[in-house]
Chain A
Amino acid sequence: MNTTHINTATATPRTFTIDSTLSGVSFLAAARSEFAKLKALRTSWWLSIITVALGVFIAGAVAFSFQQFAADDSAMAGDALQIAIQGQAGSYFAMILLGSLGVIAITTEYSTGAIRSSLTAVPQRFLLLSAKGLALVIWTAAVTAVMVLLSHGLTSIIAEPLSLGDIFDAEIAGMYAASWVSVVLTSLLGFGLGLLLRSSAGGIVILAVIMFVLQMVLSILYGVTGNAAWVEVLMQAEYMNLVDNAVNPNAGEFSMVPALEAWQAYVGLLIWVAVPMTLGALRFSHRDA
């Protein structure tokens, strides 16, 4: 037999004990680990860089065309708030891009099998999930803040009457904050969809349907049904309508359906996010990994 073989039958039995002064798993430590995961993922960086670059580019383009129109026809010149709102047009791309990041943050763990490593380090599933969610929120909040601020800077430099200092204007700052919140919520919506569907493609497609297709389908339905009241309710509760009502103080001006109060819009958005998250979390906490 092997010469390194130790005869444990005669050796005094020893039991290894864990040093209880060493740290165990904690929510903050788990969140730090999840944040490090996002940072180590190339996709996170690509999606984030594209988000900021596209957002700033669109802001610049919008500001430039506003400036052109204002020079030709002074009636076309908007007020500062109007320009600031237009300058945030890039946030729609931010929603789909960072929403996709939300999907991928969880689905790659399944497609690679890394979820099994994650769960052997942090077996409390709800804790792992919350830590992941928090890390995602911090990441997307930072990326979106950079995008909003840079877009504001560029818009205010190009287009009159918006100025750099208008960031402190309560109405404009509030609109920026709302836009920022909707992007972060959308990334959480993606996270919930990824958790529920466990498929990157599935999650991203559903997210795109929610963002781009639902509104169209409902508008057609609205026409077909001769402006039926129930379709109107659906149109009001539709995701992008809620985003519009939360972000744009003038929402409803050009809309087919009556505007909602901002708080109503936020409640609606929270429900949109909470439903897939809750179903996904239930699936995650009860099923085999």
Chain B
Amino acid sequence: MITAENLHKRYGSKNAVDGISFQLQPGKVTGFLGPNGSGKSTTMRMAVGLDRPTSGSITIDGKQFSQHKAPMRTVGAVLDAGATHPGRTGKSHLKVLAATHGISASRVQHVIELTGLGEVAGKRIKGYSLGMNQRLGIAAALLGDPAVLMFDEPVNGLDPEGVRWVRSLARQMAAEGRTVFVSSHLMSEMSQTADHLIVLGRGRIIADAPIQELLNSGEQRVLVRTEQTSDLANALTARDVSISHIDAETLQVTGLDPRSIGRRALEAQVVLHELTPQLTTLEDEYMKLTGDHVEYRSGGAFEEAAQ
């Protein structure tokens, strides 16, 4: 179990992680979602002791990562694909890591096959594609058969087949009772993998909830079409109901379900052409949650330049 308590990290004057607390449960895939620069990688680096927290703590089963007797059996982390010596072969990279914990050669061979690196394991890492590097990183993380798996943006550089494979790996590891922590800046990625979501924006937690709850929490919006928009708007006006005019014949109503809208329309003798509930998707929720927290927005100038 990973526990963060009031975790802070400053780089110079920049608050990369700004006082976050959370607890990750075993047996679940916890998604760590946030736009680029929100502090996901920094948090993960602190979890394995690569970066020191400015204040607060992040522990695994109550102990700092470095205090564990068998670190590779405690946490397997895929933090960045490039953390290897390009002159070594994939296999020698894995063997060197395995040697630190007396992990057998057959286990090295096993993770090579598991990650589909059989063909290239004997070649120098220099020639690996981004996808192969990701697989090598995952192989290294799995070497110790760890209780916690941490993947920082694992699908970067993977082909669609690889992406599916990583997803099912994460699910499988969680089903085995391990704690799985996967970061991504893509909502769509998370909705297919995670049971629980921690959403980060500018170094702060803006949501920490089961994914189902996030999906249900969205207020319901209903699209209504009628020629008598002002009559209908008058009939619907109440506290907690907001009405916006989309065009001359279309209203968007929040805070009332379609059934009540239909009934009040009848009472006010308004003819409706359309009455459509709008489902909020997780993606919308994410945009809403992080809307105020995005550090870099795509600027018009950049988009023009890119064309």
B96:A36 contact, CB within 8 angstroms = yes
B101:A121 contact, CB within 8 angstroms = yes
A108 within 8 A of B: yes
A116:B79 contact, CB within 8 angstroms = yes
A23:B101 contact, CB within 8 angstroms = yes
Which among A2, A16, A42, A124 has the greatest number of chain B C-beta atoms within 10 A?
A16
A23:B147 contact, CB within 8 angstroms = no
Name the distance in Å between B112's Cβ and chain A's nearest Cβ: 16
Name the distance in Å between A40's Cβ and chain B's nearest Cβ: 5
User: Once bound together, how far apart are the Cα atoms of A117 and B174, in whole Å?
Assistant: 23
**How many residues on the A side are at the interface (Cβ–Cβ under 8 A)?**
48
B192:A121 contact, CB within 8 angstroms = no
Known contacts A22-B70, A40-B96; A113 and B82 CB within 8 A of each other: yes
A15:B69 contact, CB within 8 angstroms = no
Name the distance in Å between A118's Cβ and chain B's nearest Cβ: 8
Known contacts A8-B174, A119-B50, A120-B77; A23 and B102 CB within 8 A of each other: yes
Chain A proximity mask over B94-130: 1 for CB below 8 Å, otherwise 0: 0111011110000000000000000000000000000
Name the distance in Å between B9's Cβ and chain A's nearest Cβ: 9
Name the distance in Å between A102's Cβ and chain B's nearest Cβ: 17
**How many residues on the B side are at the interface (Cβ–Cβ under 8 A)?**
53
Contacts of B168 in A (CB 8 A): 4
Where chain A touches its partner, the secondary structure class is loop
B162 within 8 A of A: no
Contacts of B68 in A (CB 8 A): 24
B87:A25 contact, CB within 8 angstroms = no
Name the distance in Å between A76's Cβ and chain B's nearest Cβ: 48
Contacts of A42 in B (CB 8 A): 87
Known contacts A8-B174, A29-B99, A36-B99; A14 and B49 CB within 8 A of each other: no
B50:A289 contact, CB within 8 angstroms = yes
User: Once bound together, how far apart are the Cα atoms of A289 and B65, in whole Å?
Assistant: 15
Interface residues of B in 134-149 (CB under 8 A from A): 140, 146-147
User: Once bound together, how far apart are the Cα atoms of A32 and B97, in whole Å?
Assistant: 10
Interface residues of A in 197-226 (CB under 8 A from B): none
Contacts of B70 in A (CB 8 A): 18, 22-25
Which among B48, B72, B101, B171 has the greatest number of chain A C-beta atoms within 10 A?
B101
B101:A18 contact, CB within 8 angstroms = no
User: Once bound together, how far apart are the Cα atoms of A119 and B71, in whole Å?
Assistant: 10
Contacts of B93 in A (CB 8 A): 117
B177:A15 contact, CB within 8 angstroms = yes
Name the distance in Å between A184's Cβ and chain B's nearest Cβ: 23
Contacts of A6 in B (CB 8 A): 171, 174-175
Give the nearest-CB partner of A109 in chain B.
Answer: B85
A122:B100 contact, CB within 8 angstroms = yes
What would be 18 A-B contacts, judged by CB atoms less than 8 Å apart? Answer: A1-B192, A6-B171, A11-B27, A14-B27, A16-B178, A18-B146, A19-B73, A24-B69, A25-B71, A32-B99, A40-B89, A41-B88, A112-B84, A117-B97, A121-B71, A121-B101, A124-B66, A289-B51
- Which residues of B are in contact with A by a Cβ distance under 8 Å? 26-28, 45, 48-52, 65-66, 68-75, 77, 79-80, 82-89, 92-93, 95-97, 99-102, 140, 146-147, 167-168, 171, 174-178, 192, 195, 210
